[in-house]
Amino acid sequence: MDDAEILETIRTAARRAAAEALKVLEEGTGAKEQGRGSGGDISLLGDLVAEQTAISYLQEKIGSFRVVSEEIGEKTFGDGGSYTFIIDPLDGSRNYKRGAPLFAVSIAVARGETLENVFGGVVYAPLLSLEFYALRDRGAYLNGKKIEAKTSSDGLESKVIAVSSPPKASFLPSIFVSRLATHGVALRMLGSASLELAMLASGSIDAYIDAWGTMRIVDMAAAQLIAREAGAYTLIGGKDGNPPLLSLKERVYILVAASRDLAESIASLYRESFGYDIQDVFKVMK
C-alpha cells in the first residue's frame, strides 16, 4: 500500500469503529463500565467495541502491524510488519458516556518508534459529523476540504485556548490557568484532546496546552500531525528531551498554537509565572 491507501484504510477503520460505538450506545450498553484498560482509565463497552472493530479492519486489510492502543496496550499482530497504529478508540469517553457529542475516534500510523515517525492520522467525531485527516507533507483536511490553522494578530485577550485537565493535588497548573484567564483568554476544557487539537487545525481554537506533562501519545498522535499539516506551531516534548516514544507509558507536554507568535506569548507567560520554561516541566512537576 502507498501512503494514500494507508490513510484511506485508517479513515475507514475510524468510521467503522465509531459506527459500532454509537450502535451499542443507542442500545443502552455502550456506557457500561468494563474494568480498566491498559492506559489505566475505566473502559466502557463502547471503548472496547470501537477498538476491536478498528483493529479487526486493520487485520483484514494489512495483516501484520504493531498497535499502541488505550485498551489492549501495545501488541504485535502477525510478524509486526512495518506499521505502528496508535489508537484511542474513544477519546472523550466521559462525554460519550453522557451522550455529549465531544468525543472522537483517533487513529495515527507511523513507520518507526517515535512520534516524529507518524505520517498519517484521522480524528473522527461522529456525532458532530467532523472527519479531520492528514498525510505528512500533503496538508490537513476536514470533510474533504483543506484546512489551515489561523488566528488574529492581536493579544491574548481575544484568544480561545483549550487546556487539558490539570493533575490532581498540584497547585502550579491552577496558577497558570488563572494567569491565562486574567489576560482575558477564553478558556476551554472539552475533554477530548484529539478533537480540540483538530479543531485548532481548522481555526476554531487558537491554541491547546498540556503544560503539566500528562498528555498520552494515544490522545494526540493523529491530531498533532493534523495540526502541523494545517500550519500550526507545535512544541512537544517528553521527560528525557528525546522524541517521544510510541508507547502507552510515554507522557508529554504539548503546546500547539495557530501561530508562532501566539505560542511564544503563551510560553512567555508560563516563564513569567513560574520562572522556568515549559520544556523544564518534568524537572518541576512531581
SS (HEC) of 214-274:
EEEHHHHHHHHHHHHHCCCEEEEECCCCCCCECCCCCEEEEEEECCHHHHHHHHHHHHHHH
- Single-letter code of the amino acid located at 68: V
Q: What is the pLDDT of residue 286?
A: 43
Which of 60-69, 116-125, 169-178 is predicted with the least confidence, judged by mean pLDDT? 169-178
Listed in sequence order, the residues at least 6 apart from 207 whose beta carbon sits closer than 8 Å to its beta carbon are 151, 159, 161, 162, 200, 255, 256, 257, 258, 262, 263, 266
Give dist(CA 58, CA 223) in Å, integer: 20
Question: What would the pLDDT profile of 20-52 be if each residue is shown by its tens digit?
Answer: 999 999 988 877 777 665 666 777 889 999 999
Q: Is 44 known as a binding-site position? A: no
47 annotated to a ligand binding site: no
Distance CA(269)–CA(13), nearest Å, equals: 41
Paired with 65 in beta bridges are 77
Q: How far apart are the first and last CA of the chain?
A: 44
184's enclosing H/E stretch is none
Question: Distance between CA 243 and CA 231 in Å, rounded?
Answer: 20
pLDDT digits (tens, 9 = 90+) for 179-212: 888 888 999 999 999 999 999 999 999 999 998 8
Per the annotation, does 197 bind a ligand? Answer: no
pLDDT band for position 239 (cuts 50, 70, 90): confident
256-281 per-position pLDDT tens digit: 999 999 999 898 888 887 777 877 76
In the structure, what pLDDT confidence band is assigned to residue 284 with cuts at 50, 70 and 90?
Answer: low
Q: Which three cell numbers mark 155?
A: 493579544
What local confidence, expressed as pLDDT, does residue 36 receive?
64
CATH fold label, 156-284 = D-Maltodextrin-Binding Protein; domain 2 (3.40.190)
CATH number of 3-146: 3.30.540.10
Whether residue 79 is annotated as binding a ligand: the answer is: no
Listed residue (126, 275, 283, 269) closest to 207, CA to CA:
269
pLDDT, tens only, 44-54: 889 999 999 99
Give the model's pLDDT for residue 171: 58
Each domain of the chain, given as residue ranges in start order, spans 3-146, 156-284
Please check whether the two domains, 3-146 and 156-284, share a CATH topology.
no
The two beta strands, 207-216 and 160-163, are parallel
> Is 154 annotated as ligand-binding?
no
> Which candidate, 79, 74, 279, 95, places its Cα nearest to that of 193?
95
